[in-house]
Amino acid sequence: MDAKVKEFMDYVVATNPAEREFHQAVHEVAENLIPFIEENPKYKAARILERMIEPERVVMFRVPWIDDRGELQVNRGYRIEMNSAIGPYKGGMRFHPTVNLGILKFLAFEQVFKNSLTSLPLGGGKGGSDFDPKGKTDNEVMRFCQSLMTELSRHIGPDTDVPAGDIGVGGREVGYMFGQYKRIINEFTGVFTGKGIEYGGSLIRPEATGYGAVYFAEEMLASINEGFKGKVVSISGSGNVSQFAAEKVIELGGKVVTLSDSTGYIYDKDGIDEEKLEYVKELKNVKRGRISEYATKYNCKYVDGVSRPWDEQADIVLPCATENEITGEDAKKLLDNGCICISEGANMPSTPEAVDLFIKNKILYGPGKAANAGGVATSGLEMSQNSIKMSWTREEVDEKLHNIMINIHKTCVEFGKEGDFTNYVKGANIGGFVKVADAMIAQGHV
C-alpha cells in the first residue's frame, strides 16, 4: 500500500510543483483513502481521488489599489473553486503576506472534506491575497477590498461560490467586500458569510469556529470520561478562533494559560478570566495591538519572538493560529508534559511528524477538518437564514452548531475506530470523502 501512496504522491508533486502545503494536505488524506479506495473499487474506477485533487477552477488576478500617500500598490488575488459536487463552493478568504497558490489549494482541498462532514450542502473553495492588513488604515483596507471585489464579483454568487473570513479577514473586511459586491451586482444576496448582524449576518458566526473546536474536544474527552473542568489549556493565536475558543473553555471551567501572535506568546499562570479576555478582544479587534501588551497590563510572562506556546505545560492544547505551528519536537514536548487532548481550531497546524506522534501515543487528536468545521457549518446556517429571509436566535444557532459538532464526532468514530482507539484523522478523511465521492459518481464525468 505504501508503494501505491508513493506512486500517487509522485504524480501530485510532479503535476503541482512547489506547492509544499498542498502536497502535505493531499498526502495525509491519501494515506487513509488509498487503502479505502482499494477496498471499494467503484471509487477507483471513477478515479475520484485523481479528480478531487484537481480544482474545478482557479482564478488568479491583479489587485491594484492606491495607498494613503497616493502611491499605487499591486497585490495578487485568488479564488480556488475546488469542488461543487454537494453544493456551491464555500470557504474563507485569507489576507496574509504568506498567501500563495499552494497554501490556498491546501486550504480548499481540506475544505471539501470539512464541508462534507458538516452534513450541509456545501462544496469547497478558498481564496485570498498576499495583502497584509496589518499596519494599514481603514481607508487603505477598504480601497484594497473594493479593488479585489471588482474582479472577484464576476466569479462568485449566492448559488455559485460563497466566501467568508479567515486569517486577516474579519468583520471589517467582509463588510467592505460585501458592500462592493452589492454595488456592482445591484442585488442584496447571501453572497458572503460572516456578515455584520445588521445586514444579514448570523448570531454565533463569530464564535462558531472557536466554540466548535471546544465542543469537539468535549466529545473526545467524554469518550474517556473526562471534561474541561479544572484542566490547564494552552491556546495559540489571539484572533477570532482563539478568542472564542478561550471564551468557551473558561465557561466550561478550564484554565486558559496562553495566547500568542506572530511576535510572541504570553503565559498567565493565574489563567485568563472573562475580564482579561474582554481586554484581549478590545486589544486585537479594535486597537489592533500586540499580545505583548497583555503581559505589561497583567504583569505575566511574555516570550518575545516565539509565537508558539508549546514549552508550557498543558492538559489540553488548542492550536488556533496557523498551519504547521506544531512540529515533531513540539509534539514530543507536549506529550512529555502530559497533554491528553489536541483539538485543532487552525487548519493543518500540526506537521506530519507531530500527527504521527499523536496517533502513535493514542491521545485524543482532533484534526482541523473535523474540529474546526463549526465555522463553516454556521456559515451554512447563515446561508439558510439568508435564503428564508429570517434570523434565528443565539440559542437556536448555538444548539444547531453544538449538534453538528456532536454528529461530526460520531462520523469520525464510525469511520476511524481501530479497536479501543479512535483515529480521528482516518475518521474525518473517510467520513468526509464518501458523500462527495458518491455525488461525483452520480453526476458523471464532470
Active site residues: 126
Q: Which of 115, 372, 385, 422 binds ligand NDP (CB under 6 A)?
A: 372
167 binds ligand NDP (CB under 6 A): yes
Q: Among 7-15, 50-58, 154-162, 164-172, which window interacts with ligand NDP (CB under 6 A)?
A: 164-172
What are the beta bridge partners of residue 179? none
Residue closer to ligand NDP by CB (options 48, 346) is: 346
Query: Residues 192 to 221: which contact ligand NDP by CB under 6 A?
Result: 209
Work out whether 427 is an interface residue with ligand NDP (CB under 6 A): no
Q: Which residue from 19, 28, 166, 398 is in contact with ligand NDP, where contact means CB under 6 A? A: 166
- The letter for the amino acid at 250 is I
- Residue nearest ligand NDP, CB atom distance: 239
Asked whether position 375 contacts ligand NDP by CB under 6 A, the answer is yes
241 binds ligand NDP (CB under 6 A): yes
Contact between 238 and ligand NDP per CB under 6 A: yes
Pick 224 or 306: Cβ nearer ligand NDP: 306
Q: Using CB under 6 A as the criterion, what x/- string covers residues 322-361 for binding ligand NDP?
A: x----------------------xxx--------------
Q: How many residues in the chain? A: 446
The CB-of-129 to ligand NDP minimum distance in angstroms stands at 13
- Residue 239 binds to ligand NDP (criterion: CB under 6 A): yes
Q: Is 168 in the site for ligand NDP (CB under 6 A)?
A: yes
| Interface ranges with ligand NDP (CB under 6 A) | 165-168, 170, 209, 237-241, 261-263, 307, 320-322, 345-347, 372, 375
